[in-house]
C-alpha cells in the first residue's frame, strides 16, 4: 500500500494524495497529513536543477501518480514564463553565516507562487484520477499574498473557479490592486469587513456547512481550498528547503550532513511546517526559527506551551503575518503528540470554545528540540532593513526583515550557517521598505516603487510594475455573515 493521508483529528478514513488535494481538508474538521514521513537521501540530489529536486522530493508523497505525471506537474509549474530565474529560488550569501533564500521570483512576487503554480496541476490530475467530473470551486481566505497567487494559479483553468476573501482594509495597496485587477472568467475577489482570522474561520465554516455542500453538489459543484490547510499546497514548499541546503553545499559553505538552521517569517505556520517535513525526511536541519511580528501568539506558545488567541490583534508592516490562529500548527502538534488524534481534537475543541489550549510540559520540551521562536517589534524591523542595506547593500521586504531581525538579536546564537526565508519582493511593500532605508517619500505607493528602484533593489518586480494603470475589476465589500450568500450566488 502506498502513501495514504490521515486526519489530525482521526475522524476521517485514510485517503489518497489525489483525494487529499481535491478535498482540501477532512470533511469533519481535521487536516490531512501523510501517514508517515518518508526518508529521502537528499545528498544524491546535489547539483540537480530545481525541477529534478522537486520530482525526487515529491514522489514519495504522490502515490497514485506515475513518474511522467509528476514530471509534467513540475515542468508545467516551474517554467521561465512563471519564474524569472532558472533556479526558481535563489540562495544569496550575506556574510556572517547568514544566507537569504529568495522565494519571490514567481508571478505575484510572494513565496506562495512556488506552491500555487504547481497546485492547479495536482488538482487537474487528481480530478481525473478520482473520476471527478464536477466543477471545483476553490474558496480562499487571504491575508494578502495567497489570494493573488491562487488567482494566478487557477484563473482560466477548465472545470475550476475561485473565490477569494480578504480583510477589508487589512492588506497593502499593492496586494489589494493585485487581486482587484485580476481578469479571468472564473475569478471572484471579495473584501470582508473583518480581519484575516474572520475570513479564515468563515471559509472553514463554509467547508463544514453540510447544507451548503449539498446544495452545491446538487449543481455539480464541489468546494476545495488553496490555503495551506491543503496538503497539495504544503508539500511543494518542502522542495526549496532541500534546494537551498544543497546550494550551500555547492557553494562550499557546508559539507553535506552539517546541521544548519532555517528562520521563517511565520503566519499560518505553513512555510515553517514544510521545513519540519524536510527535516523529518532527513535534511540535516538543526533548528527551525519561528519569527513573528507583534502578533506573537506563536512566540508565547513555544515559550510556555499555552496557545492563547485571546489577545489584541495588531496591524503591522508585515500584514501576511498578522494572524492569531496558525492553522498548520495543528499538523505539527499531531506529530509531536506522537500522532495522538484524540489529544489534538481535544486541544482544538478547546481552542474553538475558549480561544486557548495548553500542551503540557512533556510535549513542550519536544517542540524546543526543533523550534526556537522569537518576535520583533516594528521599529526593529525598520532598523534591520536599514542595517542590511547599509552594511551589505541588500534590500529586503518587511516580512523577510522580521526573520532577519529574529536571528540578529541577543536571543539567538548564530553558531551555524542560517538560511532566512525571504517571502516577498521588497517592491510589494515599497513605502515601508523606504522608511527602513531612511528615505522620505511624499507621494503614493507607486512613487515609492519608483524611488525604491533607484536604490539598488534591482529591477521593479513585474507583479508590481504598471499595476496602478490596470483596471479594477473587483470592488465588492461584504460583512462576515454575507460570505455564505456570496458563495451561493457565485
Ligand atoms: C504568507 C506569507 C507569510 C507567512 O507564511 P505562512 O506559511 O502563513 O506561515 C510570510 N511572508 C509573506 C510575504 C507571506 O506572503
Which atom of ligand 1 lies nearest, measured to the CA of 237? 7
Q: Is 112 known to be catalytic?
A: yes
113 lines ligand 1 (CB under 6 A): no
Stretch 455-481: mean pLDDT? 94
Question: What average pLDDT does range 357-374 have in this prediction?
Answer: 97
Q: How far is CA 350 from the centre of its chain?
A: 25
pLDDT for 196:
86
Top-confidence residue, 143 or 336: 336
What's the pLDDT at 245? 98
- Report the separation in Å between the CA atom of 134 and the middle of ligand 1, taken as the mean of its atom positions: 31
Residue 1 has pLDDT above 70, yes or no: no
Pairing of strands 90-95, 98-102: antiparallel
Has residue 28 got a pLDDT over 80?
Answer: no
Is residue 470 pLDDT above 80, yes or no?
Answer: yes
| pLDDT surpasses 80 at 361 | yes
What domains does the chain contain, in order, with CATH numbers?
90-111+237-426 (3.40.50.1100)
pLDDT, one tens digit per residue, over 152-184 is: 999 999 999 999 999 999 888 899 999 999 998
Which residue has the least CA distance to atom 8 on ligand 1?
Answer: 268
Quick one: DSSP state of residue 110?
A: B
Task: Evaluate if residue 24 carries a pLDDT over 90.
Answer: no
Looking at residue 453, its pLDDT comes to: 95
C-beta of 267 in contact with ligand 1 (< 6 A): yes
pLDDT-derived band at 59 (thresholds 50, 70, 90) equals very high
62 CA → ligand 1 middle, Å: 25
Please tell me the residue having the least CA distance from ligand 1 atom 2. Answer: 320
Give percent above pLDDT 90 in the chain.
88
Write the pLDDT tens digit of every residue in 65-93: 999 999 999 999 999 999 999 999 999 99
The pLDDT assigned to 170 comes to 87
Q: Which residue has the cell 533556479?
A: 87
Ligand 1 center–CA 266 separation, angstroms: 6
Helix (H) or strand (E) holding 351: helix 341-354
Whole-number pLDDT of residue 364: 97
Say which of 67, 112, 148, 353 is annotated catalytic.
Answer: 112
User: What's the pLDDT tens digit per position in 381-438?
Assistant: 999 999 999 999 999 999 999 999 999 998 999 999 999 999 999 999 999 999 999 9
C-alpha 436 to ligand 1 mean position (Å): 20
Task: Pick from 149, 225, 233, 320 the residue to mutate for probing ligand 1's pocket: most ligand atoms within 8 Å of its CB.
Answer: 320
Q: Are 71 and 111 in contact (CB under 8 A)?
A: no
Nearest CA to ligand 1 atom 14: 320
Predicted confidence (pLDDT) per residue in 197-235, tens digit: 899 899 989 988 999 999 999 999 999 888 888 999 999
Those residues whose C-beta lies under 8 Å from the C-beta of residue 288, and which sit 6 or more positions away, are 261, 262, 263, 264, 272, 275, 276, 279, 370, 371, 372
More confident residue, 228 or 61: 61
Nearest ligand 1 atom to the CA of 267 is 9
Model confidence at 27: pLDDT above 80: no
Q: How far apart are CA 225 and CA 204, in angstroms?
A: 9
C-alpha 464/C-alpha 397 separation (Å) is 14
Residue spans of beta strands (DSSP E) within 149-197: 160-167, 187-193
Does the pLDDT value for residue 284 go beyond 80?
Answer: yes
Could you tell me the pLDDT band of residue 54, with boundaries at 50, 70 and 90? Answer: very high
Amino acid at each position: 500500500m502506498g502513501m495514504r493521508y490521515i486526519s489530525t483529528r482521526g475522524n476521517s478514513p485514510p485517503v489518497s494524495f489525489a483525494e487529499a488535494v481535491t478535498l482540501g481538508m477532512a470533511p469533519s474538521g481535521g487536516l490531512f497529513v501523510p501517514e508517515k514521513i518518508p526518508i529521502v537521501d537528499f545528498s544524491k540530489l546535489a547539483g540537480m536543477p530545481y525541477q529534478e529536486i522537486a520530482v525526487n522530493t515529491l514522489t514519495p508523497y504522490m502515490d497514485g501518480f506515475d513518474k511522467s505525471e509528476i514530471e509534467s506537474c513540475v515542468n508545467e509549474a516551474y517554467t521561465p514564463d512563471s519564474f524569472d530565474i532558472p533556479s526558481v529560488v535563489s540562495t544569496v550569501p550575506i556574510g556572517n553565516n547568514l544566507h537569504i533564500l529568495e522565494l519571490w521570483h514567481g508571478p505575484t512576487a510572494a513565496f506562495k507562487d512556488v506552491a500555487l503554480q504547481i497546485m492547479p496541476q495536482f488538482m487537474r490530475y487528481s480530478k481525473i484520477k478520482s473520476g471527478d467530473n464536477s466543477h471545483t470551486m476553490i474558496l480562499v481566505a487571504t491575508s494578502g499574498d495567497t489570494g493573488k497567487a491562487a488567482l494566478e494559479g487557477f484563473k482560466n483553468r477548465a472545470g475550476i473557479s475561485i473565490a477569494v476573501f480578504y480583510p477589508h482594509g487589512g492588506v497593502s495597496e499593492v496586494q489589494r490592486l493585485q487581486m482587484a485587477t485580476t481578469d479571468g472568467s472564473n475569478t471572484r475577489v471579495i473584501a470582508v469587513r473583518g480581519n484575516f482570522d474572520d475570513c479564515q474561520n468563515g471559509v472553514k465554516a463554509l467547508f463544514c456547512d453540510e447544507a451548503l455542500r449539498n446544495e452545491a453538489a446538487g449543481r455539480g459543484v464541489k468546494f476545495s481550498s488553496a490555503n495551506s490547510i491543503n496538503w497539495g499546497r504544503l508539500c511543494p514548499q518542502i522542495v526549496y528547503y532541500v534546494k537551498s541546503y544543497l546550494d550551500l553545499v555547492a557553494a562550499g559553505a557546508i559539507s553535506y550532513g552539517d546541521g544548519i538552521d532555517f528562520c521563517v517569517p511565520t503566519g499560518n505556520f505553513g512555510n515553517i511546517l514544510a521545513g519540519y517535513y524536510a527535516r523529518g525526511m532527513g535534511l540535516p536541519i538543526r533548528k527551525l526559527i519561528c519569527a513573528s511580528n507583534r502578533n506573537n501568539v506563536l512566540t508565547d506558545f513555544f515559550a510556555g506551551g499555552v496557545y492563547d488567541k485571546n489577545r489584541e490583534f495588531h496591524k503591522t508592516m508585515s500584514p501576511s503575518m498578522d494572524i492569531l490562529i496558525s492553522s498548520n500548527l495543528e499538523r505539527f502538534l499531531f506529530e509531536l503528540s506522537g500522532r495522538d488524534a484524540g489529544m489534538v481534537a481535544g486541544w482544538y475543541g478547546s481552542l474553538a470554545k475558549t480561544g486557548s489550549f495548553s500542551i503540557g510540559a512533556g510535549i513542550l520540551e519536544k517542540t524546543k528540540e526543533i523550534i526556537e521562536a522569537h518576535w520583533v517589534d516594528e521599529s526593529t524591523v525598520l532598523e534591520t532593513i536599514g542595517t542590511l542595506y547599509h552594511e551589505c547593500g541588500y534590500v529586503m521586504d518587511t516580512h523577510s526583515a522580521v526573520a532577519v531581525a529574529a536571528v540578529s538579536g541577543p536571543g539567538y546564537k548564530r553558531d551555524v550557517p542560517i538560511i532566512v526565508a525571504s517571502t516577498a519582493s521588497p517592491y510589494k511593500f515599497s513605502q515601508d521598505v523606504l522608511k527602513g532605508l531612511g528615505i522620505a517619500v511624499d507621494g503614493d505607493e507607486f512613487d515609492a516603487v519608483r524611488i525604491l528602484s533607484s536604490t539598488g533593489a534591482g529591477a521593479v518586480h513585474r507583479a508590481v510594475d504598471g499595476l496602478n494603470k490596470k483596471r479594477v475589476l473587483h470592488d465588492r465589500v461584504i460583512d462576515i455573515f454575507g460570505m455564505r450568500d456570496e458563495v451561493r450566488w457565485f
